[in-house]
Amino acid sequence: MRTMKRVALLVLLAAAALLLAFSFSAAAQEVITIRAWTVGPDTPAFYRAENLITAAERLNHILEVVGADIRVEVDADFWTDEWDSFRRRVILASEEGDPDVVPDILVSSHLDIPVWSSSGWLAPLDDYVQTYWESTYQDFFPHLWESVSFEGKIWGVPQDIEVRMVFYRKDHLRALGWTEDEINDLARKVEEKEFLLADLQALAKEMQAAGLVDYPIVHRPTSGPDFFQFVVAYGGDYYDPETNKLVIDKAALEATLQFFADNVKDGLTPSGMTTWPWPAVHRAIAEEGTAGMQITGGMWFWAEWQRDFGIPEEDLWENLTWSLIPAGSEKGRPNQLGHPLAYMVTSPSHHKDLAFLLITLASEVDLNTRHSLEAAKLAIRRSQTAFPRFLESEYLAEAAKLVPHQIFTAAHPAAGRYATVLHEAIGGVETGALTPTQAVDLVIQRMTQAAGDDLIIR
């Protein structure tokens, strides 16, 4: 009986000791939560959030192997609503400045860097980038660092980059008698200025006369940096890097607005293009072919058309081809605009080191490549271009050929506003509410208000 009691006591003591040990180890293991707000809005770009979660899993594995008593948890969300609502959320939270509200990591447009960094909401990353330079960041394409720098400091880590292009319906070109060779030669002709915006309009008229389309030319309905491409195509500038001022090039801007006005006047573009819902634009060009050309295309549409509209990739190859935005005049040049997204670390974050480490791990070649493949985005690292899975993608390889003609939006706090104002002016001339000259005046008035002395009017 006494032995039984002793055994019971021993068992109880052992259980208590185990429980105590367990609770001690549980208490000793610190879990740090890193919060991240990421944005699409294109749904295939979900790896912007997922890669951070995978990075944390990899980091935790290492910590476990070395017996460290710390774990990292990532609470990442992925915003698929509009850009403006994402920005509003960041701005209001950042103004609040509460580290419990503001996330540690943001993924957003490089356009946001001048505004957010000058408001004191972001942490400068130069020292962090230097820490991992040899192991990771020396591998990044050098020009991308310029897009995430402002006033001499690095505020972001490039997350992805893409090219923009004009998409053409090949089936309509064939119907107009174009041979496969002629179709395949179109991109070269655009690049070498043998096919200008006026030729694009002539082609649109042919498509319309042949009854192939409802509207031969469509463009993005919402505002975005895309419309600067046309200013450059007509030989203009929108930014002067020497003085860090925005530029309104009146002649090129008016030519751009005249181009959009003429398209509507000739019935090539609907007058209310700026009120079309996005899905209607996508369906018209990619699914139904009721449009002939999408002149503000982006390479990521390829992923959206497959994922969100269920169009098989072979159909896309069969029906669509693309080129740079053609030059509009002899002075202008064919081009396309890149709009890098970047990881940023917020200034109120209590865990900046850890947040940056996660960003570094999420930028690993395999992780960023799976993002490239899923979201149809280009490589940010040299090694990616030699990575087998990346090499397998014919689309990425073909689209990457447009890279040498890339332009970027201005690194200026009012650059985003400039994009909105330009879009507004295009809406004005398309609806006939403004003549191109009046629209130029509107842009000058609005941008003088937004940029003040930081504006050069030529």
- Which residues of the chain form contacts with another protein (CB under 8 A)? 82-84, 87-88, 91, 95, 111, 115, 119, 214, 222-224, 270-277, 280, 283-284, 288, 290, 416-417, 419-420, 423-424, 427-428, 430-431, 433-434, 442, 445, 449-450
Q: Output 270 or 328, the one with its CB closest to another protein.
A: 270
User: Of 407, 424, 418, whose CA–CA distance to 222 is shortest?
Assistant: 424
In this complex, which beta carbon is closest to another protein, that of residue 365 or of residue 425?
425
Residue written as token pair 């192939």: 212
Closest approach of another protein to the CB of residue 220, in Å:
10
Shortest gap between Cβ of 254 and another protein (angstroms)?
17
Tokens, residue 279: 């899905």
Minimum CB–partner distance for residue 120 and another protein (Å):
9
Of residues 244 and 290, the one with the C-beta less far from another protein: 290
Q: Which of 320, 284, 327 is nearest to 302 (CA)?
A: 320
Nearer to another protein, 82 or 127 (CB): 82
Nearer to another protein, 87 or 164 (CB): 87
The Cβ of residue 429 has, within 10 Å, a number of other Cβ atoms equal to: 28
Q: How far is the CB of 451 from another protein (least distance, A)?
A: 11
Q: Tell me, rounded to whole angstroms, the distance of Cα 111 from its chain centroid.
A: 10
User: Nearest approach, Cβ of 214 to another protein (angstroms)?
Assistant: 6
Rounded to the nearest whole angstrom, what is the least distance from the CB of residue 433 to another protein in the complex? 5
The nearest distance, CB 378 to another protein, in angstroms, is 22
In this structure, the number of other CB atoms found within 10 A of the CB of residue 139 comes to 15
Nearer to another protein, 23 or 119 (CB): 119
| Closer residue to another protein in complex, CB, 83/302 | 83
Rounded to a whole number of angstroms, the minimum distance from the CB of residue 213 to another protein is 11
End-to-end CA distance of the chain: 103
The DSSP secondary-structure symbol of 346 reads: B
List, in order, residues 6 or more apart from 189 with CB less than 8 Å away: 195, 323
Q: How far apart are CA 249 and CA 235, in angstroms?
A: 9
Nearest to 326 by CA among 440, 433, 203: 203
Q: Minimum Å distance from CB 222 to another protein?
A: 6
Measuring CA to CA, which residue among 447, 173, 124, 123 is closest to residue 323?
Answer: 173
Beta-sheet pairing, 291-298 with 164-169: antiparallel
Task: Name 245's bridge partners.
Answer: 240
* Beta carbon nearer to another protein, 244 or 420: 420
Is the CB of residue 285 less than 8 Å from the CB of residue 279?
no
**Element (DSSP H or E) covering residue 204:** helix 197-209
Min separation Cβ 87 and another protein, Å? 7
DSSP one-letter string for 61-72: HHHHHTT-SEEE
| Contact assessment for residue 197 and residue 260, using Cβ atoms and an 8 Å cutoff | no
Q: How far apart are CA 172 and CA 293, in angstroms?
A: 10
What are the beta bridge partners of residue 33? 73
Q: Bridge partners of 322? A: 167
What's the closest the beta carbon of residue 101 comes to another protein, in angstroms?
15
Q: Which is nearer to another protein, 82 or 394 (CB)?
A: 82
**Alpha carbons 72 and 55: distance in angstroms, whole number:** 10
Q: Which is nearer to another protein, 54 or 109 (CB)?
A: 109
In DSSP notation, 266-321 reads TTSS-TTGGGS-HHHHHIIIIII--EEEEEEEETTHHHHHHHTT---HHHHHHHEE
Task: Compute the least distance from the CB of residue 230 to another protein, in Å.
Answer: 16
Q: Which H or E run includes 147?
A: helix 142-147
Task: Using the minimum distance from each CB to another protein, give the nearer residue, 50 or 430.
Answer: 430
- Complex with another protein: residue 276 or 395, whichever CB lies closer: 276
In the structure encoding, which two tokens stand for residue 135, read together?
Answer: 């192991």
Residues facing 446 on adjacent strands: none
